Amino acid sequence: MVSESMIIKKVKAAKAAAEKMVTVDSAQKNTLLRRMSRALKKNAEYLIQENRKDIAFAEKQGYSSALIDRLRLNDARIKAMAECLNETAALDDPVGEQIASFKRPNGLLIKKVRVPIGVIGIIYESRPNVTSDCIGLCIKSGNAVVLKGGKEASFSNKAIFLVLREEILSSKLPAGCIQLMPSTDRESVGFLLKQDKYVDMIIPRGGEGLIRFVSQNSTIPVIKHYKGICHTYVSDKADLSMAASICFNAKVQRPGVCNAMETMLVHSKIADRFLPEMIKQFQEAGVEIRGCMRTRKIVKKGVKRALAKDWDEEYLDLVLSVKVVDSLQEAVDHINTHGSHHSDAIITRDKREAEVFLQSVDSSSVYVNASTRFTDGYQFGFGAEIGISTDKLHARGPMGLRELTTYKYIIYGNGQIRQ
């Protein structure tokens, strides 16, 4: 168990480093990120070896196949982690960017410019790639980062951190700009959440229980990466072939991630034609279907009865809720009632209907004729992401470099005084 004094020591070091990070130029940050990328690839065997310890623990604990998939490292995933660092290095540096500039009648020149937030605490579960992605994004945006991973990835997270820290120690950046909490117990999270003197923002990434705990116990502002109950609504005006392709991708391509479809809504006018073949494809891919009464009347075999709680469930697995609806408005109402404001899609050839859906669905990312699986910092062109915010302040949707900055006003005068 880690003592509160040890946590304070680490966040103090991060705060001191953050004060120096604001003066680090883009060239230095980019050089470090590229060196980190090479270091990950060079140490792939070591990272996989440590990851095997986490996989063995997960299997012993009986974790789901989807969770183990999120946890697993292999050569391809390590290469992808390395490429994310290179891509982050290639992105424009937001620090110092001028947002606005204007001159007042009294001659004051006022500029609004982007600056780092400071110290960002990230509390996360499962996916070890979060360790390198967040380190890269925080360094590029001029922030210090305090990482607190979960017990299921403790060996992997530590190994990635140690590999990347070696590159920082041999660079000109302040050594304390990345910190890893060594403990995996919940009590240490509670200690971290009270360090508002040193930490400027907390981003939790994980299950609903973790996010609720963080939100309820933090004295530091929290940006919530809440659960992803994502919907796809198949309109009676949809191209059904396109709809089948999109829905299958949204559920099956990688079911254990927050932007995977958890509920499919189908208009009653095309349900008889669409659902039998669509559900057959899902079942052949190993998807368990939980359907409303009308769905079960259309597809009589292999569809479990959907309970009221299923409409509010983030499965993160090969499980899908299916509901037949009678109108666009019913679909929108269902999404706004049961969704998590993450990502939702409509499949339709009707432009007016698409516009109504886009305006009416209150989610961070709303799609027309595309899979919800694209809600991702990399896919949006942001490079790696720090998370996907389902909040409305100060960031919403995939959080990239700009979402890790705030701003300040810089005022130039020539002797003005206020009368």
Residue 184 has pLDDT above 80, yes or no: no
Spell out the residues 6+ positions from residue 419 whose beta carbon is closer than 8 angstroms to its own. none
pLDDT of residue 183: 65
Average pLDDT over residues 346-367: 98
Cis previous bond, 225, omega within 30:
no
Distance CA 256, CA 66 (A): 5
Average pLDDT over residues 23-51: 98
Query: Hey, which of 221-225, 362-366, 388-392 has the most confident mean pLDDT?
Result: 362-366
Q: What is the pLDDT of residues 195-240, one digit of tens each?
A: 999 999 999 988 788 889 999 999 999 998 778 999 999 999 999 9
- Residue whose structure tokens are 């004094």: 5
Polymer length of the chain:
419
Average pLDDT over residues 341-370: 98
Average pLDDT over residues 264-280: 98
Are the C-beta atoms of residues 256 and 63 closer than 8 Å to each other?
A: no
- pLDDT confidence bin for 98, thresholds 50/70/90: very high
Instruction: Look up the pTM and report it.
Output: 0.87
Are the C-beta atoms of residues 103 and 110 closer than 8 Å to each other?
A: yes
Spell out the residues 6+ positions from residue 309 whose beta carbon is closer than 8 angstroms to its own. none
Q: What is the pLDDT of residues 61-94, one digit of tens each?
A: 999 887 898 899 999 999 999 999 999 999 999 9
pLDDT of residue 366: 98
Percent of the chain at pLDDT above 90? 86
pLDDT of residue 283: 98
Q: 4-226+391-412: CATH homologous superfamily?
A: Aldehyde Dehydrogenase; Chain A, domain 1 (3.40.605.10)
Q: Which CATH architecture has domain 230-374?
A: 3-Layer(aba) Sandwich (3.40)
Residue 276 has pLDDT above 80, yes or no: yes
- pLDDT confidence bin for 415, thresholds 50/70/90: very high
Which residues in 383-400 are b (16+ Cβ under 10 Å) and which e? bbbbbbbbeeeebbbbbb
How would DSSP label each residue in 53-100? HHHHHHHHHT--HHHHHHH---HHHHHHHHHHHHHHHHSPP-TT-EEE
**3-class state of residue 268 by DSSP:** helix
Lowest mean per-residue pLDDT among 57-71, 233-247, 347-361, 399-413: 57-71
pLDDT of residue 225: 79
Average pLDDT over residues 20-47: 97
Residue 351 has pLDDT above 90, yes or no: yes
- Residue whose structure tokens are 């982690």: 81
Helices (H) and strands (E) in the chain, counts: 14, 16
- pLDDT confidence bin for 35, thresholds 50/70/90: very high
- How many C-beta atoms surround the C-beta of residue 140 within 10 A? 28
pLDDT of residue 417: 97
Residue 1 has pLDDT above 70, yes or no: no
- pLDDT confidence bin for 157, thresholds 50/70/90: very high
Write down the mean pLDDT value for the chain. 95
Strand order in the sheet with 178-180: 178-180, 144-148, 119-124, 201-205
Strand order in the sheet with 319-325: 303-305, 288-291, 319-325, 261-267, 230-234, 343-347, 365-368
Distance CA 42, CA 74 (A): 13
- Structural domain boundaries in the chain: 4-226+391-412, 230-374
Lowest mean per-residue pLDDT among 35-39, 41-45, 121-125, 305-309: 121-125
- Residue whose structure tokens are 């040890």: 6
- pLDDT confidence bin for 382, thresholds 50/70/90: confident
**3-class state of residue 234 by DSSP:** strand
Rounded (5°) CA angle 265-267-269: 155
- pLDDT confidence bin for 123, thresholds 50/70/90: very high
pLDDT of residue 192: 96
Residue 186 has pLDDT above 80, yes or no: no
Distance CA 201, CA 216 (A): 14
Are the C-beta atoms of residues 323 and 295 closer than 8 Å to each other?
A: yes
- How many C-beta atoms surround the C-beta of residue 355 within 10 A? 11
Percent of the chain at pLDDT above 70? 99
pLDDT of residue 49: 98
Distance CA 325, CA 294 (A): 9
